[in-house]
Structure 1
Amino acid sequence: MEVLIQDEPAFAHASLTSLSASANTYIRQSKAKNTIKAYQSDWRSFCTWCEERHLSPLPAEPQTVALYLSDMADRGYRTSSIGRHMISIGLAHRTKGFPSPSSDEMVRAVWRGIRNTLGVAPHGKRPILVEDLRRMLQHVPNDLMGLRDRALLLIGFAGAFRRSELVSLNVEDVQFVREGLVITLRRSKTDQEGEGRKVGIPYGSFIETCPVRALQAWLNATGIDSGPLFRPVSKAHDVRNARLSDKTVARIVKRYVRLIGLDQRHYAGHSLRAGLATSAAMAGVSERDIMAQTGHRSPLMVRRYIRDSNLFRSNAAARIGL
């Protein structure tokens, strides 16, 4: 996405170029970095597909986009991915001053057909429940990497953090108080303007699953007093002065769910966040309190967690004597 500079007199061009660069920077900051990366990746895929078939990607004919979406569906892409590609193509056209081919009725008809054929049910990762987490922590090694993993899993779960939020935390964002921890989340996926919010994490009832004590143990062992909270640890047990990547969070979660016999394909970093919401719903925590912890602005997703948690707790078939 870029701001276009129309033909201008030479004396104004340099100034406009500078302003354009500044505007493009703000455009890039208007959405989350991962969202921008996804849009860029989608656009590159579409351009490659068009080049292989000698079709124009920009501007693209509506028929070209319709064929591209159909091909994605035939190749097994999920409805959500296909829909995002359609948005990316339209966005690329609009930022270059072209009408979006995604708005054409032919493309919309193909999109409706794909949704009706493939369905639109979400395919989210499975939640890690409290009992799963307890079992996972039993496999954490008694070394520096283990201290980090224990703290990361417990803070990620208790705070219901997204993996991007978890790795963005700095020591300066953490305050130890009488009741536990107050973590200031400076920015998140749903808070691109940086208003920030505070998340309270209380002491756990058991030492082995207490997120507050786990984080204190990690900080005490490493001596980290500023900068990134969670960092890479080498095989030689050296702590790097760098920020852990969000992909590493997913790998850590997958490693421990595999150790307790679960299929790692169904779990990732989001399983911690989903796990807190689902476990809280199973424990009868109110929708409002769950949203306060997760930071959800809409109750729709939280209600899905509540419905899932009630599948067997309030089950008609369980009460008829089968």
Structure 2
Amino acid sequence: MTTLPQISGAGATDPAELAQEVVRFAGPSGTIDLAVLDAVLRAWSPNTRRAFRSDLTLWDDWCRRQRIDPAKAGAVDVAAWIRALAGTDPSAEEIRATATIERYLVNVGWAYRMAGFADPTAAPLVKLEKKAARKALGVRQRQARAIRFKGDIADFDSPASGVCLAHLLKACRRDLLGLRDEALLRTAYDSAARRSELVAIDIVHVDGPDGQGAGTLFFPDSKTDQEGEGAYAYLSPATMKSIARWRDGAHIDRGALFRRVETHFDGSVAGVGREALHPNSITLIYRRLIRAAHAKKLLGSMSEAELERWVAAVSSHSIRVGVAQDNFAADESLPAIMQAYRWRDPRTVMRYGAKLAAKSGASARMAARLSAESSSARPGEEDSHN
């Protein structure tokens, strides 16, 4: 009988529960490497543990449907799974993005190694199938549509345009739900926080205001802070005031800052919950506020069809993408952006700014210059050179 490492904790990402998952996966034929299992599960963040459990379940379900024993699956079976996920084989599987398939294989590979089995995901055949999937699907990831502070504008002094933070703030209700939404939006923009970071904010993590009314937000851990060093983010005076109004209105003295606001059937506020918001609720809040801004005619002449396209493209990452684009528009350097908003991979930040760069790069400047020269030419001058 396998004796599992003693790891404390509870919940869906409890390391002890994941250890049991690996034991079930290994079955009687496996030989659990307890040292690796213990070290890996303690080293992983809650988000990584959650992804591992989810991906292992997907692989197990697919194997069962194919009448394959996961413990005995080989490279041929993994290759077939990749083709199903990439849509290159007729299958009932939902087509996944290249990056998602890569993540599945990494986690499934870890499960085999922890269970003491040969890792079929490391076989040459699987590497070739991954390459074929990248070719078929492309490697560009679908990017959440950006929510910038004033929208897609070139000059920060210009009025706000379309779906933007300024209009979502105006769309917030004048009750407890609105106070929560405003504080959430402002905190998300100032800190460029990921959804997991937003919902994990505790009252003790917010420090200030200082003499100028600003504050700081401490992140004890995050997706890119595997060592648990923590990081700080700046909170503007306007954000600190909105947090204070929300806390006073909801009587929050301790615990989670952002909580569920319960409403009656007619939409009126019934009360404030005690637990932190679920990470999935962040996207839903952004989408609700976009619809509210549209209903209040804040988004200009946007059609219903364009509204639905916007809502579908928005995610909990949209403000973080917008923050990156606003910083690029303000000519902030890449290292400064990465340091301020806790990015580790410069390629990610550059991808967020790619669309903006196209509008302000050399080709855009050249086109603007030629357009200006053309418009200043005398009538008929162009024809004289033909």
Same fold (TM over 0.5): yes
Could you tell me whether the CA contact under 8 Å between 1:59 and 1:93 is conserved in 2?
no
The amino acid that maps onto 1:148 is: R
Structure 2: where are the runs of 5+ without partners?
Answer: 8-34, 88-93, 151-163, 264-268, 295-306, 375-386
Task: Give the aligned partner of residue 165 of structure 1.
Answer: 197
Which deviates more, 77-86 or 134-143? 77-86
TM-score normalised to the size of structure 1?
0.87
Question: What's the secondary structure of 2:280's corresponding residue?
Answer: helix
2:135 is the alignment partner of 1:88: no
Residues in 1 aligned to 2:70 and 2:369: alpha-carbon distance in whole angstroms? 58
Question: What's the secondary structure of 1:188's corresponding residue?
Answer: coil
The amino acid that maps onto 1:98 is: F
Distance 1:243 1:130, change over 3 A: same
2:370 is the alignment partner of 1:320: yes
The amino acid that maps onto 1:143 is: D
The amino acid that maps onto 1:307 is: A
Task: Give the aligned partner of residue 229 of structure 2.
Answer: 195
Residues in 1 aligned to 2:347 and 2:236: alpha-carbon distance in whole angstroms? 26
Residues in 1 aligned to 2:118 and 2:291: alpha-carbon distance in whole angstroms? 48
Distance 1:237 1:311, change over 3 A: farther
Residues in 2 aligned to 1:85 and 1:298: alpha-carbon distance in whole angstroms? 21
Could you tell me whether the CA contact under 8 Å between 1:127 and 1:274 is conserved in 2?
yes
Could you tell me whether the CA contact under 8 Å between 1:160 and 1:293 is conserved in 2?
no
Higher relative contact order (CA 8 A, sep 6+): 1
Residues in 2 aligned to 1:25 and 1:137: alpha-carbon distance in whole angstroms? 46
Distance 1:66 1:141, change over 3 A: same
Structure 1: where are the runs of 5+ without partners?
Answer: 6-16, 204-209
CA shift, 1:192, in A, is 2.6
Residue of 226, 237, 257 corresponding to 1:229: 257
Distance 1:265 1:154, change over 3 A: same
Which deviates more, 79-88 or 96-105? 79-88
State the Cα deviation string for residues 264-308 of structure 1 (Å, max 9, x = none): 111111111111111111121222321222111232222233333
State the Cα deviation string for residues 182-212 of structure 1 (Å, max 9, x = none): 1111111111332111112223xxxxxx322
Would you say how many aligned residue pairs link Structure 1 and Structure 2? Answer: 301
Q: Which has the larger radius of gyration?
A: 2
Residue of 273, 289, 302 corresponding to 2:349: 302
CA shift, 1:26, in A, is 5.6
Pairing of 1:171-210 with structure 2 (within 5 A) = 171-176=203-208, 177-179=210-212, 180-203=214-237, 210=238
Pairing of 1:229-248 with structure 2 (within 5 A) = 229-235=257-263, 236-248=269-281
The amino acid that maps onto 1:91 is: W
Residues in 2 aligned to 1:54 and 1:165: alpha-carbon distance in whole angstroms? 40
Distance 1:62 1:251, change over 3 A: same
2:50 is the alignment partner of 1:37: yes
Residues in 1 aligned to 2:290 and 2:369: alpha-carbon distance in whole angstroms? 32
Task: Give the aligned partner of residue 8 of structure 1.
Answer: none
TM-score normalised to the size of structure 2?
0.74
CA shift, 1:25, in A, is 6.2
2:133 is the alignment partner of 1:148: no
CA shift, 1:55, in A, is 1.3
The amino acid that maps onto 2:251 is: G
Task: Give the aligned partner of residue 57 of structure 1.
Answer: 70
